[in-house]
Amino acid sequence: MVHDLPSWRSLDTSPWPPGADDDAVARLLDLAEEAAPEVAAHMERTARLARRFATELELAQPLLELVVRTAHLHDIGKLAIPPWVHEKPGPLTDTERRMMRAHPVMGQKILERKPVLMALGPLVRATHERWDGNGYPDRLKGPAIPLPARIVAVCDAWDAMTHTRVYRGPLTRARASQELSRGAGTQFDPGIVEPFRALLDDQIDCWAIGA
């Protein structure tokens, strides 16, 4: 069961009227494509995956679009991180790791510059929090992490694991599914992982999206 889904289904989504921020999102994605193509491709795939998953969760359309926009921009803060850090093929130093962990905060700051995207800032900021409270930047725990961020975290991890990264090749889908299961209750909301993995079993072909 998805934690606190009823309260999110009743959320007042009037700050995010459908389509109002499409141009602003598109401009940021164009900027990402030019500055960091791999980051842009990852965000696009994650957003497509998030749309499919949120649809299966039967989220109301305004909430679904909120999830998708969060996914589309979840790593936009990496544009403020030197490419030699987020494109480094080897292990990061402690300093580089701190720089990388700043990207959710930088993402929020980028979004706050655009009034139509400002409300997405806290959601993007929370996409690297962990269910057990050991994430970053704010160490939010459990349902204190906004639902869109929890959904995006699972979709983000799946795409990252199943595609080539600068530091490793892709995992098999079976291995990636096992990793999600292992992280349920610690890294991820188990109420999100369970239906995501069920969908993997039921509709395995759909997960080639963006491959």
| Element housing 9 (H / E) | helix 5-9
Q: Residue 179, class by beta-carbon neighbours within 10 Å (0-12 exposed, 13-18 middle, 19+ buried)? A: middle
Question: In 10-60, where does DSSP find H-type helix?
Answer: 22-35, 37-56
CA distance 205 to 57: 18
177 with 150: CB under 8 angstroms? no
Which residues share a beta bridge with 184?
188
* Geometric angle at alpha carbon 55, from 11 and 32, rounded to 5°: 85
Q: Which residues are catalytic?
A: 78
